[in-house]
Structure 1
């Protein structure tokens, strides 16, 4: 009996302890949630644009896109109808991009589709508390207001459309560096766009400050910074569009209205007005204001500000961005774009913004803005802000791409490429990579390592790309046939363990020449100068340390009697493309250009050579080596092979074959291998946003620690470092 009572007491005591522990866990979790919410709930800017069209039943559909930014990725539709018939709506939203720097912001975009019975004007508005608080800012209320006028324009016979605009929520500038921010101000109706500060009496802003040290050119929507104290400045602007000539707006339920061009001396009403709000942080002075030193500078292939890019329905658009800075390392590119746009980083240091328009986006214009961020020690720097306009065109040729570990197969519906003859198509304009056709389709299959296929690697994928193009006569420099170009790709996902993978190692290259017949040469890397142990093809991409010796050999698969190979040139580039703008010559005209090059053999059927590994300056961390070779008749003093190294630009002896004349040498042929990659050193970077309250961070950290100790332990087992590559599912390509 005593034992039973004791057991019961212990059980109740355990239950009370468990209850206390759970209560503590719940309390601490709530405190943690409160701490994170307190640091992540503040408003950092917003904007709205709209596009409209008339439905067959006489109603109107308005596609409204709005962006908002907070410390956390808050998503929701809290817009209310200010006046007019705002109609019925559907709503979707998602994250666009975020940055741990400059206030730790996250920007989201919501897409509202409203159906209204008539085209009378209506107004949407939203307000709350609070703006981010820093220095002179008191964290006051914010307000957003949009006037939507769907009146049918007399010049276009269509409803009015607003200007298209977007911006990064937080832009930053060193105190000593003057800078202009050209706010994108494109109007699809080709109206005049103007920007001004919001008016408090019209409920267009919450704090309505006009800061000293900044000027706003209303006619060009350019915000210029000259000089001000270090602080965060909030801008609550209004963007308006005015016609370039007098037009009338016709309505179904009210009298027509007249709209005139902007006139400083009058109070002409705009066609629409939309909000544009963001934060600008003036930071500590920089050692230099020259772009490319501390402040990142954009490089090719980054598009220029204001550039118009074309995208096609259901076809992925790529916007490639690259930046550099001598005394800063590029850490990120942040952007503001349409919903469902994504960002990837290539191992060569390029940032790629991807977006695939849908059929609903056809005919519309979409703005995308981006900024490069660099870091020097604990200090972060931003580049200029660039913005582009994406114009969505109709769907292009319909194709199906099938990817295997070795090949890419492409099938294109002939009906979608009318006017293009199947016999006038090639892969990458390569004569040896022809395209076949029948009555319904154009099709081709080629190796992932052939036909000029380009390889690209991001943090998550390995991508093979090629292009199918039209051609006329290869000897002509003009063509009067329809121009056609379609990019095809195979995207492979990196995995730690899979069964299907592609082979990065380049296979042997086959040549055919009159007088020599068909022959195959391979480009291989070796372990040492003994040239006995080939680097395992499955280990590609190969890894080297800087200055480590690379041993290479170009040799025939089957030795041809009485022939020798001559290494005319070799170049290294970050892509498998010897004509890439960034390349480094290793051998030129048979001469060793790089001081570390050592050619071991000459006048032999094969050529062995070596050089020390190097890295391209900048963000590139891979190297492809491409060589041009000539096959000659051995021991013939009249061949290019016999000439050896020559610094002259004289033309090599002709290999043209006359009647009864034997060929003495081939033309030059390219052969490549790679990629080679430098071994990376592990590094740990820690950064805390200066705008966060450090006491709050400490408290939150303590709470996390207590929760971890009291509530349990999570075990993370790291995956192996052996990287293979996996095909994506067909619906992910």
Structure 2
């Protein structure tokens, strides 16, 4: 088996990157992040361009010339948006240019961007290292309404921890060819906040800014000249002002969405998952738009009521990108827009491994031998793998570890069409503060997707337990606003109370529940594993002799239930209208079929049974468990008083609480796995065909 061995050790934060920008009438925004090249003394930089252009999306024609150190980022997942019309797309590329640079950059036949950059070289007096110009994130095209003042915070960052300021570009300094001045716009230089006072007509406006870094001196006297900026980096934006329909609040971020300006540190071959959730009370979200690093995977936007959710995934494979990567997200509705939410992905740099380090990749495990002669004062007893229960053995000369590819917290990511198994050996310190060194050592074994020996291919399907571990499922029941997803279910209205009807006067009691929330759980912990619910039935009797579908093939059966969207991949929540449940008693039972699914490609989602148009549709690029049947105990349909405990051991939370005894998958019978295995085989067969 051909295997590529990969390993990196001690983490040192040494990101070198900076941005400048481009600008032009037909572009809707541009920025360039740059890395000074040490080998040239900083006289040359590697420039990473990001340009937003109106549709139709321009080609890369004119970007790279023969003989230039230039690479275009051609991706099957380009960043696009529909608002403002006619829509827009993002083009990205890198090129080596002088650190002080002025040029018209041509993109295709439609976009010309004037670029002025002053990035040094400047050697910092205290460290004699090259100065790092500031980074700028590029948000999607900005929007505002006439007569509605608005503030747009820009996200900037400086790796040297210099003071960053923003100002409008000046034509007298040669920073732009067309530098319009708008009386209704100003920039708060110290906070890099663009301020729109609302006093403009409708239209689209091009903005050209310069972002600069300054030493962090204390305030200077009035008669002392301000220090000169170390570097000046252009940032170009667009603002579309629309006819006012009222100054209403736009969508707002909620849930697990990272805070603006947050930094996520990324180790080699680490997979980063970001969940973005926005809530819009007045208008439904029409799109979630993103501008980020190349090969950032996005799932389709999912909406439920006032909530809109998108999952973002980025895997750090071998790349020549800057160490600091901006990622910006925004939501658009018909006439409103959320605030730009921008974060940073920081590719942490690794030092060279000690001589004699060996990482051997085998079929079922990776074996590490690490000399410790150069790792002075390292506390070896603090070393752990992702799963601390796996042994790390050490003596006076070496650290050794045998790391299972299916255990010890080993994770699987994709790099192109190859599979990469990753783990991390690191110091886990329980003491408060220490000056002793710590170790962070990413480990990775890379396996080609297909290994051919002659015309025949031997394909081994991993067992369910090897892929998913020992799986378990269970059901829990709560009234709306109670339980682990109380915040989501409290705000979710399946049907207004005025429209809810009672089924029969014989059960019309004052403490009868109108709605009930069904929570389906799994113990899945692997990345990208999704809990899938096939069908759920309710019955008056424990043997389910006479039953009615509440969910059928993943779909709502009638108007009696709706799924409540959560950010959890190992739980599903459904709100049930009890007026549609044809039971004449005050208790019922429920049975659901469930399984787990994991996609082989991060950009994809597991197949949605409800959206399948044909029973013959093949589930491509997914691995599934068997289908399990999980049955509840008796579920009371009557409210309980505050503080009353429940029949299933789930603590009472508010006025009414319902719970059913948990039924684990290990206690429930699995369905005939033949059909599921057939789907898995079909999926892998189709995947191999596509790769060949």
Q: Normalising to structure 2: TM-score of the pair?
A: 0.55
2:263 matches 1:308: yes
Q: Contact 2:62 / 2:108 at 8 angstroms: preserved in 1?
A: no
The aligned residue for residue 79 of structure 2 is: 97
Q: Contact 2:168 / 2:208 at 8 angstroms: preserved in 1?
A: yes
1:195 offset after TM fit, Å? 1.5
Distance 1:672 1:331, change over 3 A: farther
CA distance in 1 between partners of 2:327 and 2:64 (Å): 27
Q: Secondary structure at the match of 1:317?
A: strand
Out of 97, 111, 117, the position equivalent to 1:146 is: 117
1:239 offset after TM fit, Å? 1.4
Q: Secondary structure at the match of 1:153?
A: coil
Q: Contact 2:591 / 2:630 at 8 angstroms: preserved in 1?
A: no
2:408 matches 1:441: no
Out of 21, 27, 34, the position equivalent to 1:43 is: 27
CA RMSD of aligned residues (A): 6.4
Out of 231, 235, 251, the position equivalent to 2:203 is: 231
Out of 647, 660, 671, the position equivalent to 2:664 is: 671
CA distance in 2 between partners of 1:645 and 1:107 (Å): 56
1:339 offset after TM fit, Å? 2.9
CA distance in 1 between partners of 2:27 and 2:265 (Å): 33
Out of 324, 340, 345, the position equivalent to 1:390 is: 345
Out of 589, 593, 596, the position equivalent to 1:608 is: 589
2:272 matches 1:272: no
Out of 184, 187, 190, the position equivalent to 2:158 is: 187
The aligned residue for residue 37 of structure 1 is: none
1:591-606 alignment to 2 at 5 Å? none
Q: Normalising to structure 1: TM-score of the pair?
A: 0.52
1:251-262 alignment to 2 at 5 Å? none
1:627-638 alignment to 2 at 5 Å? none
Out of 683, 686, 689, the position equivalent to 1:726 is: 683
Out of 267, 283, 294, the position equivalent to 1:328 is: 283
CA distance in 2 between partners of 1:267 and 1:234 (Å): 29
1:364 offset after TM fit, Å? 2.2
1:272 offset after TM fit, Å? 1.2
Specify every segment of 5 or more residues in structure 2 that has no aligned partner in the other structure, as ranges.
Answer: 1-23, 373-378, 394-399, 412-420, 450-459, 475-532, 593-607, 611-626, 650-659, 667-678
The aligned residue for residue 125 of structure 1 is: 103
1:55-94 alignment to 2 at 5 Å? 55=39, 62-71=45-54, 72-76=56-60, 89-94=69-74
1:388 offset after TM fit, Å? 1.2
Q: Secondary structure at the match of 2:136?
A: coil
Q: Contact 1:79 / 1:124 at 8 angstroms: preserved in 2?
A: no
CA distance in 2 between partners of 1:61 and 1:203 (Å): 20
CA distance in 1 between partners of 2:309 and 2:287 (Å): 10
Q: Secondary structure at the match of 1:201?
A: helix
The aligned residue for residue 514 of structure 1 is: none
Deviates more, 1:225-234 or 1:526-535: 526-535
1:190 offset after TM fit, Å? 1.2
| Cα displacement string for residues 650-682 of structure 1 (whole angstroms, at most 9, x for unaligned residues) | 69999xxxxxxxxxxxx9756379xxxxxxxxx
CA distance in 2 between partners of 1:130 and 1:651 (Å): 66
The aligned residue for residue 110 of structure 1 is: 93
CA distance in 2 between partners of 1:218 and 1:370 (Å): 23
The aligned residue for residue 658 of structure 1 is: none
1:172 offset after TM fit, Å? 0.9
Out of 279, 284, 294, the position equivalent to 2:243 is: 284
Distance 1:309 1:548, change over 3 A: same
CA distance in 2 between partners of 1:669 and 1:401 (Å): 41
Distance 1:549 1:221, change over 3 A: closer
The aligned residue for residue 554 of structure 2 is: 542
Out of 150, 171, 189, the position equivalent to 1:200 is: 171
Q: Contact 2:204 / 2:238 at 8 angstroms: preserved in 1?
A: yes
Distance 1:173 1:598, change over 3 A: same
Q: Contact 2:366 / 2:405 at 8 angstroms: preserved in 1?
A: no
1:307 offset after TM fit, Å? 1.3
CA distance in 2 between partners of 1:338 and 1:203 (Å): 30
1:163 offset after TM fit, Å? 0.9
Distance 1:194 1:507, change over 3 A: closer
Q: Contact 2:116 / 2:234 at 8 angstroms: preserved in 1?
A: yes
CA distance in 1 between partners of 2:297 and 2:268 (Å): 17
Which has the larger Rg? 1
Q: Contact 2:185 / 2:197 at 8 angstroms: preserved in 1?
A: yes
Q: Contact 2:288 / 2:301 at 8 angstroms: preserved in 1?
A: no
Q: Contact 1:435 / 1:443 at 8 angstroms: preserved in 2?
A: no
Q: Contact 2:142 / 2:238 at 8 angstroms: preserved in 1?
A: yes
Q: Secondary structure at the match of 1:62?
A: strand
CA distance in 1 between partners of 2:422 and 2:664 (Å): 18
Q: Contact 1:436 / 1:444 at 8 angstroms: preserved in 2?
A: no
Q: Secondary structure at the match of 2:326?
A: strand
Q: Give aligned pairs, total.
A: 495
1:351-366 alignment to 2 at 5 Å? 351-358=310-317, 364-366=323-325
